[in-house]
Structure 1
Amino acid sequence: MKIRYKIHLVMLLSVALGLLLGLLFYQAQRDIDAANTLERQASVIAMDIFQLTLLGQDLSLHPDEYRARNQWLKQHQKLGELLSEVRFDTSQDKTVIERLRHAHKIQLQLFEASQLLPRRLRKSGTAAIVAEQQERLVYRMSFGVQAMLSDALSLQRRKRTEITQYRRKVFGISLVLAGIMTSTIAVLAYLIGRSIIGPLLRLRRETEIIGSGDLGHRVGMTTNDELGDLSRDFDRMLERLQQVTASREELQHEIEVRVLAEEALRESEQSLKKAQGIAHLGSWEWDILGGDLAWSDEIFRIFGRQPGLFDPTYDAFMDAIHPDDRPLVAQSIEKVLHGQGYDIEHRIILPSGDSRVVHQIGEAEFDDSGKPVKMRGTIHDITERKRAENELHEANGRLGAQLQEIEKLQETLREQAIRDPLTGLFNRRYMEETLVREFAGAKRENYPVSLIMMDIDHFKKINDTYGHQAGDLVLQALGELLSGHIRGRDIACRFGGEEFLAVLPHTPIVTATQRAEQWRASFEALRMTYEGKEIRATLSLGVASYTIHGNTGQEVMASADKGLYMAKESGRNRVVVAPQADG
């Protein structure tokens, strides 16, 4: 085939592959753009759903407020418009969008039901029932919004994953097509070069090899043209030249080998010295029979000595060891002489008086009769490592103490957050958490929970007569009394003002009534003194129990409060068990 035809073929293949690559890029970019669009829409949907969640929380706090209802409806309408504009490519995306649209409609139905509920129940129900039904509807709305938010975020994450997969696909296709184009062009170029340029390049390569000094090499071209004649004449000239220089080359080769060996040995010695210096690791060898001790340069540095100005001997080595560590080193050397190696850490004393910590390893060499003739080993300066270990140990100790202090502070802060500062009892917030926890356990394990609501009789009169500080004294006295009579899992809290509440898990109504009477009698017997004046006070208490007076903490607490009211109405300073709930 003509050269120009081969070149045209290469160009056509390049154009075709380029068009194919462009088409694949275009299709992949369309997929990426579609996924990007849906991912952005999913992000906006998630933000709108999150905003709807916040407005739902506001609506749950103020279900009858016009502003809260209006804002929720506007946000709901905005979300509906966005969901109607979403376009999807896959059945999986369609399923998610349809589920979001369906949930969106359900939210509107629940909202309308919550707004119609007061009018439907106004004749047949009470305000408490209306509020409870509204709370349930708002809870269902909140749960549905959370599910919508989860679907939107899931769609967003999946689209991001698809975008990444599309990009990887484009990158892989690009690599494959680029490889095909490169291979095709290389093959055609090789064919052209082989047919025309190949012989010339071969002749050039062969002459360069010979010119570099390889006189034994031959061109070896066998073509019947001018290049073949030139090659054969060149080979004959090389044979004559090789015969003249053969002996000189052999001698030169031997000299070069020896020079290279010496250079390699010097470089190896220098590399070893540098490596030992970097690692602070030195080597030594002791000729036991001759008494000679050889140190590397790094050991001289570790021991603070100058090579050439100090003669290393066994006695000098032992003198440099810290007095407290000499027995350890002597025992270790003795073990080596009996066929055991040693691996120890000890201190050395420098001429300046400073000390260093080293890690020493040693072993012995024995003759045929088993007699030790040489010892060799290494010494590693680990002073900085030991110092760092000590500093780390001290830092860990300080950190542990700080963590303990932080834990104490956290416990103190928690106590302050859940305790009433005046009486030391738990506050109302902690009591509400306890009611939820205890009544959930009572329903699950079927055990009784009793509540005692109590109020100080004529507390306002005490404040008006003796002052607020005297009233605080009475509150503190009641707090101390309850703290002393609380048992096990019982919880006593200051409910508000002069009202107190006790939660008694695993306590039936009879036992709770007996304990309430004990508290009443104990408080009545208290003698409190303020500015020389004796103050006496009494308690009124109401008792209720799960499930006699209700199935929830709020129901039982309302019954206990009713019992307290009856105790007040019937003369105060008494315990009244609330009337049993209907049904």
Structure 2
Amino acid sequence: MNKGSHLITLLSTWLGRLCCLVAAGGGKYAFAEPVELVFQGGQPTSTYDDWFSLFVWALVCLICVVVVSIGVIIRQKSTLDKTIRELSGLEEGLQEAQSIAQMGSWSRDFEHGTTFWSKEARMVLGLGDDQEAFKHYETLLHPDDIEGMMEAVAAAYHQGGGYIHEHRIISPLDNKERWVRLAGKVFLGEEESPVRETGTVQDVTLRRAAELALRQSEEKLRSILEAAPYPIMIFDISSAPSLLYANQSTYYLFELDQDEGDLNNIDLHSLWVDEDAHVEFTDSFSEGGVTNLEVLMKTNKGKVFWGMLSSTSMDFQGNPALFISVLDITDRKLIQEELERLATTDTLTGLLNRRSIFETANKEIRRAIRYQYPFTIIMLDIDHFKRVNDTYGHATGDRVIQLFAEVCLSCLREEDSLGRVGGEEFVAVLVSSTSEGGRVVAERMREAWEATEVEVPGGVDRFTVSIGVSELIVSNESFDVLLERADRALYVSKSAGRNRVTIDAGAATPVN
């Protein structure tokens, strides 16, 4: 044996002892005696047999491998047990979820001719626990639904893939009708023929009953809406407003031709005459609608009418919608406007009456004070009007008053106002006008009236008018004070001989 072999033997021995040291956790060596190298004739020898040392070293290594392997196996088993527990928990959760959802799973093996239904699936179908007692699902189908079910699965059986179909079954447990939702997937083999099918089955009887009740409710609502004597419309407002429904009264009021499909072309914007009213109405969508909004509307042929709208937000056929009712209040508005006209105008002349002209003057004087622009009023009184009634009669007197109103109106601007405050007394309100501007207008009125010929019994006659003018002087001056000053100026005109204009500027001074 050469020196290299002895060196290998020595290293092997020490490696074996090192392994023993590791295995024994630092205890005593397996061999009590140290290795001694003795060189004889130039060749090293060992106190232990070389082959025995190699055997011990190999045995120790094997033991280490076994110990490590056992540790790995124990660890893998622990991981496997944990995974099994987790899967068991998931299975229990899945079963509980299926039970709550009234859903079960199933599978069919075409090659072996077997079918498996989970416990939950058997509960849905009303089956017993015996798997073999039920092999053909088709036997459960309601006779009226067999054809539809076969058509639903035909494509999947031919090409592979999934299908979903809702149908009725007759439960063998209680012989009652149930609605189920069957979802499945067919897997094809190498010869393009079904080899396996798996899926779920869910009891949807309650949902179907709710849908039926909802449809019946919608049909009842539709009948009520159709019988309503006023238009009712439902608009989809999920994006651009579009009409979803309109009753027969809608066709009548909006002059729509049902045969020509006008209803499909109508839009919310086309119904309004006033754009501001349309904006107000659309802004109300986010607030849940409006109540009794009175607006001017127009028909499909352009006829304008007054409508009173009420609306509310709702869900219709799964979309956010707006329920709108329209009541034609044109006649009521005409009566209302006539009553307002009678309450605010003088019946003989058509001018504002005393209350209305005073309200107008008070409003304008507040505006003049706020924005600091001039404001003037004119007070007029027809001269010797009592003599007119006494000489020509009250009918002629009424005609004189009417003509005088027309003459005065022709001398005013559009923004000015004129009202009759007494028998032959009138008040004109001039906005943004000084007393000098008021004097010019008053002179124009006086001259025009003096030149007017009035037909009277037996011929024609002419009449004159006395006028007083007053301008707003201080910011805290009320209309009553301003009117009193104009009346004082009018009295000066009367006292100075009538047929003249007087401006009240603190000291009343007649003008010509």
TM-score, length basis structure 2: 0.40
Report the structure number with the largest CA radius of gyration.
Answer: 2
TM-score, length basis structure 1: 0.36
Larger helix fraction of residues: 1
Larger strand fraction of residues: 2
